């Protein structure tokens, strides 16, 4: 049993690691495409936590799967919207990052 | 069970209209409101009638059982938010139909976005589980970002991008919190969490992630930087929708979750911290609003300030007497609704003033009081509610919060309420002083269409009227509330 738990927990901890890496990239980078990629890595991390943590000793649980599929749809839609806004911004200003706050 | 046909309609109808409006020719898109608005008003009133006769209830979508089905909660709080949304969004839609005639490219995409925004908001008000709240947040947030980008100037695009990045980061933090809660308790429903949640490290980390995510989306000081350019730079009806309704979505989730998790889990220190950040928002937002030169930026910073009052809820309900908590509940909800009405009115009348003088600068308003008294009157009425002068909704809200603060012995929040009111007066009167000054700069003004003035006036008047008849909405809002009051 403990073997099974630690086996599943690997996914959850990898998810936390991915989320952390993504968060670092999201904050550290200024290029909007990089920040968008970092956002997607964070999202994958959150999905891994969602699936990995919930499998912990309770047998296969279909609910997190349904949630992750919904989450992926949301992430795809967000990424598409971000790409459109980014392209428009790049065409209008010629910049790949956002101007700093004043 | 009377009236339940209308519950799923509240978000199915806007979704269907959103898709339909993408299919029809741009010229027809605005006209869909003549089908959509009456139906949504009818559905909202029907839900209210159902609440009044049958009391709060849980609606199972398609009769599927959770967690595979979706439960919707129809209690006083949800119905109150639905009515507020219907009123503000309908009036903003009427305003937009006239206003957007001068912005043809924007107008063809405004309408689908409006319906999706509406569907997302009604989804949030009705959701009973924390994952559907996430989905609602995303639908609402993405539609809102699209609306900010409608103007398509470089400034608007940068504001939309900044807004999108903040919203995405906020929702991921929220989602990770949801994942931790589900992993720990195996349930997503509010009722399930209320029973299962205990005070341990997982719950605290999940709560911290959820709070941070939602604060970023609500733009509480010091996480507010994305709000003024997004709200102040958008088209006028968009500004009104975003400032009045959208930021309330994430606050609503936080409020519900806080009460669901209960005093054993929610730390008092965090509650006080949220109150302190709220106080910071009131002072900083008020100060920044007073310093603005653009009229709509002033109104946007006023939103930053007013969000602060809402967060006094947390210290006033955590580990205080039931009476103080009840007053805090009443006061916060009155503040939420009054702000929605007053802020929508303020943005719309500011938009009318800008149309009249043809410039967004406050200094160009000199002498406008002679030409546009009605726009200025709406601006003033809405300002009365924001300042918290009697007999407005803003006054009732502050009065209730003040009593709650005294009852719970937390006198320091009184300072926030008083100084905040003075700061609001300072920035509202800054606009008035300019308008009444006689100067050579202006000898004519453009007359905006009458609809625009009437809509702003109706909203401003409702912000006052709700203060006069506060007992009725407050009675409804209390129905089925988690503070255990009848």
What is the pLDDT averaged over residues B227-248? 94
pLDDT more than 90, % of chain A: 57
Mean pLDDT of chain A: 86
To the nearest whole number, what is the mean pLDDT of chain B? 90
Q: What is the 3-state secondary structure (H, E, C) of B157-197?
A: HHHHHHHHHHHHHHHHHHHHHHHHHHHHHCCCEHHHHHHHC
Chain B environment of A77 (Cβ under 8 Å): 138, 142
Count Cβ atoms within 10 A of the Cβ of residue B49 and give its class: 0-12 exposed, 13-18 middle, 19 or more buried: middle
Interface with chain B: mutation pick from A51, A67, A90, highest number of B CBs within 10 Å? A67
Q: Residue A45: its chain B contacts at CB < 8 A? A: 176
Residue to mutate among A29, A44, A74, A99, with most B CBs inside 10 A, is A74
Does residue A39 lie in a domain region? yes
What's the whole-number mean pLDDT along residues B361-366?
84
For the stretch A54-97, pLDDT in tens is 775 666 778 888 899 999 999 999 999 999 999 999 999 888 88
- Domain span at residue A66 reads 2-93
Do the Cβ atoms of B142 and A67 come within 8 Å? no
**Interface test with chain B among A71, A77, A83, by most B beta carbons within 10 Å:** A71
Interacting residues of A79 by C-beta distance below 8 A, sequence separation 6+: A36, A39, A40
Contacts of A91 (CB under 8 A, 6+ apart): none
Span B170-178, mean pLDDT?
A: 95
Confidence tier at A98 by pLDDT (50, 70, 90): confident
The dihedral formed by the CA atoms of B17, B19, B25 and B27, expressed in degrees to the nearest 10? 40
Residue B50 · residue B141 · CB < 8 Å: no
ipTM metric:
0.92
Taking the Cβ of residue A10 and every Cβ of chain B, the question of whether any pair is shorter than 8 Å is answered with no
In a domain, residue A35? The reply is yes
Q: What is the mean pLDDT of residues B14-23?
A: 94
B185 to chain A, any CB pair closer than 8 A? The answer is no
Within a domain: A71: yes
Separation of alpha carbons A39 and A26, rounded Å = 6
Q: Is 80 exceeded by the pLDDT of residue B401? A: yes
Inter-CA distances, A102 with A28, A99, B225, Å: 19, 9, 10
Is it the case that residue A6 has pLDDT exceeding 80?
no
Is residue A101 predicted with pLDDT exceeding 60? no
Q: Is B72 on the interface with A (CB under 8 A)?
A: no
Residues of B in contact with A65 (CB under 8 A): none
**Mean local confidence (pLDDT), B458-475:** 89
**Residue range B213-237: average pLDDT?**
93
Contacts of A98 in chain B (CB under 8 A): 158, 161-162
Q: How confident is the model at residue B211 (pLDDT cuts 50, 70, 90)?
A: very high
Tell me if chain A has a CB within 8 Å of the CB of B68: yes
Cis ω before B222 (30° cut-off from 0): yes
pLDDT for residue A3 is more than 60: no
Other CB atoms within 10 Å distance of the CB of residue B350? 29
A85 → closest Cβ in B67, B161, B169? B161
Nearest to B13 by CA among B2, B1, B24, B5: B5
Between these two residues, B366 and B120, which has the higher pLDDT value?
A: B120
Tell me if B403 sits within 8 A of B327, measured CB to CB.
Answer: yes
* CA torsion through residues B165, B167, B173, B175, sign: negative
**pLDDT tens per residue across span B34-64:** 999 999 999 999 999 888 888 888 888 777 7
**Residues of chain B contacting A74 with CB distance shorter than 8 Å:** 134-135, 138
Tell me if A62 sits within 8 A of B126, measured CB to CB. no
SS3 (DSSP) at B73: strand
- In this model, does residue B1 exceed pLDDT 50? no
Examine residue A100 and state whether it is found in any structural domain, yes or no: no
- A96 interfaces chain B, CB cutoff of 8 Å: no
Q: Is residue A22 part of a domain?
A: yes
pLDDT for the residue numbered B26 = 84
Q: Which B residues, 215 through 274, put their C-beta within 8 Å of a C-beta on chain A?
A: 225
* Among candidates B67, B135, B149 on the partner chain, residue whose Cβ is nearest the Cβ of A85: B149
Least confidently predicted of A64-78, B238-252, B306-320, B358-372: B358-372
Read off the pLDDT of residues B408-459 as tens digits, 9 standing for 90 and up: 988 999 999 999 999 999 999 998 888 887 776 566 677 888 889 999 999 9
Residue A101 lies in a domain: no
Cα angle value A61/A65/A69 (rounded, 5°) = 170
What pLDDT was estimated at residue B486?
32
Closest CA to B162 of B243, B216, B222: B216
For residue A44, the chain B residue with the least C-alpha distance is: B172
Query: Which chain A residue's Cα is nearest to B139?
Result: A74
For the four alpha carbons of A79, A83, A89 and A93, in that order, the dihedral sign comes to: positive
CA distance A58 to chain B (A): 9
Partner-chain contact A50 B164, CB within 8 Å: no
Rounded distance, CA B97 to CA B109, Å?
12
Strand, helix or coil for residue B58:
strand
User: CATH number of the domain that A64 lies in?
Assistant: 1.10.287.3510
Nearest to B164 among A56, A82, A92 (CB): A82
Residue B485's pLDDT band, with cuts at 50, 70 and 90, is very low
- How many domains does one find in chain A? 1
DSSP secondary structure string, A12-55? Answer: HHHHHHHHHHHHHHHHH--SHHHHHHHHHHHHHHHHHHHHHHHT
User: Quick check: A13 contacting B, CB < 8 Å?
Assistant: no
Per-residue pLDDT, B442? 60
Residue A63 lies in a domain: yes
Q: Which pLDDT score is estimated for B64?
A: 79
**Is the per-residue pLDDT at B253 higher than 70?**
yes
Say yes or no: A71 contacts chain B, CB-CB below 8 A.
Answer: yes
Judge whether residue B362 has pLDDT over 50: yes
Nearest to A78 among B168, B179, B183 (CB): B168
Distances (CA, A) of B134 to B164, B194, B230, B307: 15, 18, 22, 21
Q: Backbone phi, then psi, for A62, in 5-degree steps?
A: -75, -20
Distance in angstroms (rounded) separating the CA atoms of residues B184 and B485? 30
Say how far apart CA A70 and CA A66 lie, in whole Å: 6
A5 pLDDT higher than 50: yes
DSSP letters, B358-410, are T--BGGGGTTGGGT-HHHHHHHHHHHHHHHT-TTSHHHHHHHHHHHHHHHTT-
**Alpha carbon of B157: minimum distance to chain A alpha carbons (Å):** 6
Q: What is the mean pLDDT of residues A30-55?
A: 91
On whether residue A98 sits in a domain, the answer given is no
Q: Which residues of A touch B183 (CB under 8 A)?
A: 12, 49-50, 53-54, 56
Q: Greatest CA separation found in chain A?
A: 58
Rounded CA-CA distance B201/B198 in Å is 9
Instruction: Decide: B253 and B245 in contact? Cβ < 8 Å.
Output: no
């Amino acid at each position: 049993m403990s073997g099974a738990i630690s086996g599943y927990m690997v996914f959850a901890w990898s998810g936390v690691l991915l989320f952390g890496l993504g968060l670092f990239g999201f904050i550290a980078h200024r290029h909007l495409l990089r920040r968008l990629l970092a956002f997607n890595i964070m999202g994958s991390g959150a999905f891994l936590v969602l699936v990995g943590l919930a499998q912990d000793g309770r047998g296969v649980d279909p609910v997190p799967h349904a949630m992750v599929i919904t989450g992926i749809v949301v992430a795809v839609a967000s990424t598409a919207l971000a790409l459109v806004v980014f392209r428009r911004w790049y065409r209008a200003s010629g910049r790949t990052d956002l101007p700093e706050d004043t | 069970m009377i009236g339940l046909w209308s519950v799923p309609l509240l978000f199915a109808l806007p979704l269907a209209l959103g898709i339909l409006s993408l299919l029809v020719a741009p010229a027809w898109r605005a006209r869909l409101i003549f089908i959509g608005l009456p139906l949504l008003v009818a559905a909202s009133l029907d839900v209210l009638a159902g609440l009044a006769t049958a009391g709060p209830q849980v609606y199972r979508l398609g009769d599927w059982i959770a967690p595979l089905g979706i439960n919707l909660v129809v209690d006083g709080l949800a119905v109150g938010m639905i009515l507020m949304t219907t009123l503000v969004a309908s009036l903003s839609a009427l305003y937009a139909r006239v206003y957007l005639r001068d912005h043809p490219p924007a107008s063809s995409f405004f309408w689908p976005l409006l319906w999706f925004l509406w569907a997302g908001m009604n989804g949030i008000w009705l959701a009973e589980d924390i994952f559907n709240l996430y989905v609602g947040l995303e639908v609402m947030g993405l539609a809102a970002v699209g609306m900010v980008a409608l103007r398509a100037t470089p400034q608007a695009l940068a504001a939309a991008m900044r807004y999108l990045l903040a919203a995405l980061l906020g929702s991921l933090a929220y989602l990770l919190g949801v994942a931790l809660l589900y992993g720990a308790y195996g349930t997503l429903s509010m009722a399930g969490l209320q029973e299962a949640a205990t005070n341990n490290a997982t719950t605290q980390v999940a709560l911290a992630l959820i709070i941070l995510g939602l604060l970023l989306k609500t733009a509480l000081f010091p996480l507010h930087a994305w709000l003024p350019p997004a709200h102040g730079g958008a088209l006028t009806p968009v500004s009104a929708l975003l400032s009045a309704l959208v930021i309330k979505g994430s606050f609503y989730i936080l409020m519900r979750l806080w009460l669901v998790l209960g005093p054993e889990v929610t730390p008092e220190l965090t509650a006080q911290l949220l109150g302190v950040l709220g106080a910071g928002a009131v002072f900083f937002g008020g100060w920044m609003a007073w310093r603005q030169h653009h009229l709509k930026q002033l109104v946007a910073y006023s939103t930053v300030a007013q969000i602060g009052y809402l967060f006094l809820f947390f210290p006033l309900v955590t580990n205080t007497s039931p009476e103080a908590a009840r007053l805090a509940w009443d006061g916060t909800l009155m503040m939420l609704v009054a702000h929605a009405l007053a802020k929508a009115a303020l943005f719309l009348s500011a938009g009318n003033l800008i149309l009249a003088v043809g410039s967004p600068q406050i200094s160009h308003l000199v002498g406008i009081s002679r030409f546009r008294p009605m726009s200025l009157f709406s601006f003033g009425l809405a300002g009365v509610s924001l300042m918290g002068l009697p007999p407005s909704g803003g006054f009732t809200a502050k009065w209730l919060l003040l009593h709650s603060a005294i009852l719970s012995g937390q006198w320091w929040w009184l300072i926030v309420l008083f100084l905040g009111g003075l700061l609001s007066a300072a920035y509202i009167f800054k606009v008035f002083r300019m308008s009444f000054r006689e100067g050579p700069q202006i000898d004519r003004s453009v007359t905006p269409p009458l609809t625009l003035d009437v809509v702003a006036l109706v909203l401003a008047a409702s912000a006052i009227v709700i203060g006069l008849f506060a007992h009725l909405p407050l009675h409804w809002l209390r129905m089925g509330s988690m503070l255990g009051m009848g």
